[in-house]
Amino acid sequence: MTLTADEVRARLAQLREHDLPTHGGRTLAYVYDSGLAEVDAIAKEAVAAYAGTNGLDPSVFPSVATMERDVVGFAARVLAAPEGYAGTVTSGGTESCLLAVLAARDAQPDVGRPQLVAPTTVHAAFHKAAHLFGLDLVLIDVDPSTFRADPDAMAAALTDRTVLVVASAPSYAHGVVDPVGPIAAAAAERGIRCHVDACIGGWVLPFLADEPSRGVAADRPAWDFSVPGVTSISADLHKYGYVPKGASILLHRSMALRHSQFWATADWPGYGVVNSTLQSTKSAGPLAAAWAVIHLLGDIGYAALARQAREGTLALAQEVDGIPGLRVLALPDSTLLAVGTDDSCDPYTVCDELLERGWFAQPQLPFRGGPASLHLTISAATTSKIPEFVAALRDSVTAAQSTGPVGVDPGLGSLLGTLDPATFDDATLSGLLAAAGLDSAAGGGLALPRRMAPIHALLAACPPALRSTLLTAVVERL
């Protein structure tokens, strides 16, 4: 069925009605809103102007190379990269992390099965990298009270097969910066690369350097290229760079370190292929938007936005700790909060209640003995709404306490412990999903219930492998 252009517009607007709002500061995960209409407008114009430009070949689209050099140059200065740095604009955080791992692996082809050493709090992108590129992922427990990586335990885990060590600035789930100094030093001593995953902090933390201490910021560990031994850093433009989705940076300390990130071939009958990223043909739109937003905001604009988001985070942390039933799990080093509950309620129900009140917070499942929590990403646009959010959070907790923590049927709970996801057939999966309250919609897809707490409670009761199987089954059926 064809539609007129106006009908297409109307239909697209209608489709978006059920999505979370990307702007307005009420969605506290997934999206980043500067609150500045001019930033969004220039970014949209740039995406539109460059949507069809192919970033595959900067020799015929030289503006792509120019914009990439400019954007990488800005990031290099902000991240204290030394002379001789080399960087790439990628499609997102996961791609930047994947490429850091790939470059490290391919720089050392003779180690046998390569190893990646990381704290348990490292982003899932590194699990994916290990899976895709055939590395053993060695996860090291973090300090159970600060949630920061344990540098001694990480140093002890390094072997002749370790090609990369990773630390976060900050970690997504708890919002804390790992002690990068000793981790990078231990890696450097053995000639091992050290990547700092600053995907979510890379466009915030550098602009908070002169933040008054307040007892929180004072001991934030150093993490950028000023730390000896740090060989690469990822920093997402499409997060706190306030650029539309599809842009991140991977920066290496030197051109030599980046070299193994490239893939090239002329061994086929078509054009010569040289890829600095996992993609080949790629839109130059996100890069152009990054170029535009960076030039519009500059250091002063980013510093103002970073301070704004940070103010909001600290104010919110204080308020959360004053709400009976809630506690902030870790002192926030950046602009993220992990909020736990006591036994009077559970984080999943609090998230459902918040959604009823027009706010999105992201549920985080319990992990390695650590508690379940709700995750809050605070962007600049949220800060002016903190009092409104706190009121909604208070009401949500009261409502969640009135029903008590959501449970899993004891029979189902014990069954989950015995299931082996490796041997699942489709019927077993469908049965499990139905038992969890996920039924087929009229059109054949899966209908998600309005309240997700029972589903999260069910996932929480599953071993991690089963969680992955169930999550995949749900998304496949959507």
Ligand X SMILES: Cc1ncc(COP(=O)(O)O)c(C=O)c1O
Q: Does 340 contact ligand X by CB under 6 A? A: no
29 touches ligand X (CB under 6 A): no
| CA dist 94 → 187, 263, 378 (Å) | 23, 18, 21
Whose structure tokens read 């995960």?
Answer: 29
Complex with ligand X: residue 35 or 93, whichever CB lies closer = 93
Nearer CB in complex with ligand X: 122/317? 122
What DSSP designation does 84 have? T
Judge whether 115 and 159 are in contact, CB under 8 Å: yes
What amino acid is encoded at 8 in this protein? V
Residue 354 CB partners (closer than 8 Å, separation 6+): 360, 361, 392, 393, 396
Stretch that binds ligand X, among 13-21, 184-192, 197-205, 279-287 (CB under 6 A): 197-205
240 touches ligand X (CB under 6 A): no
Shortest distance, position 207 Cβ to ligand X, whole Å? 17
Residue 330 sits in the site that holds ligand X (CB under 6 A): no
Q: Which is nearer to ligand X, 92 or 454 (CB)?
A: 92
Q: Please tell me whether residue 379 binds ligand X under the rule CB under 6 A.
A: no
Residue 244 contacts ligand X per CB under 6 A: no
* Shortest distance (Å) from residue 294 CB to ligand X: 18
Which is closer to ligand X, CB of 194 or CB of 429?
194
Determine, following the binding rule CB under 6 A, whether residue 68 of this chain makes contact with ligand X: no
Smallest separation, CB 301 to ligand X (Å): 22
Residue 172 binding ligand X, by CB under 6 A: yes
Measured torsion, CA atoms of residues 452, 456, 459, 461, in degrees rounded to the nearest 10:
-130
**DSSP helix/strand/coil, 232:** strand
- Of all residues in this chain, which one has the CB nearest to ligand X in the complex? 93
Task: Measure the CA–CA gap between 204 and 242, rounded to whole angstroms.
Answer: 11
Identity of the residue, 102 or 429, whose beta carbon is nearer to ligand X in the bound complex: 102
Q: How far apart are CA 191 and CA 407, in angstroms?
A: 49
Decide: is 224 part of the binding site for ligand X (CB under 6 A).
no
Q: Rounded to whole angstroms, what are the CA distances from 347 to 95, 99, 325, 379, 385?
A: 30, 34, 10, 21, 21
Under the criterion CB under 6 A, does residue 233 sit at the interface with ligand X?
A: no
Site string for ligand X, 88-127 (x = CB under 6 A): ----xxx--x-------------------------x-x--
The distance of closest approach from Cβ of residue 173 to ligand X in the complex, given in angstroms and rounded to an integer, is 9
Going by their DSSP bridges, the two strands 248-252 and 232-236 should be labelled as antiparallel
Enumerate residues 6+ apart whose C-beta is below 8 A from 333: 170, 175, 176, 177, 201, 205, 216, 217, 220
Between residues 204 and 354, which has the closer beta carbon with respect to ligand X? 204
Q: Nearest CA to 273 among 68, 89, 56? A: 56
Quick check: 352 binds ligand X (CB under 6 A)?
no
372: left (phi over 0), alpha (psi -120 to 50) or beta: beta
DSSP secondary structure string for all residues of 41-104: HHHHHHHHHHTT-BTT-TTTSHHHHHHHHHHHHHHHHHTTPPTT-EEEEESSHHHHHHHHHHHH
Question: Minimum CB separation from ligand X for residue 234, in Å?
Answer: 7
Out of 129, 200, 330, 381, name the contact with ligand X by CB under 6 A: 200
Per CB under 6 A, does 197 bind ligand X? Answer: yes
CB of 274 to ligand X, least distance (A): 23
Is residue 253 a contact residue for ligand X (CB under 6 A)?
no
**Site for ligand X (CB under 6 A): which residue of 168, 341, 364, 373?**
168
Contact set with ligand X (CB under 6 A): 92-94, 97, 123, 125, 168, 172, 197, 199-200, 236
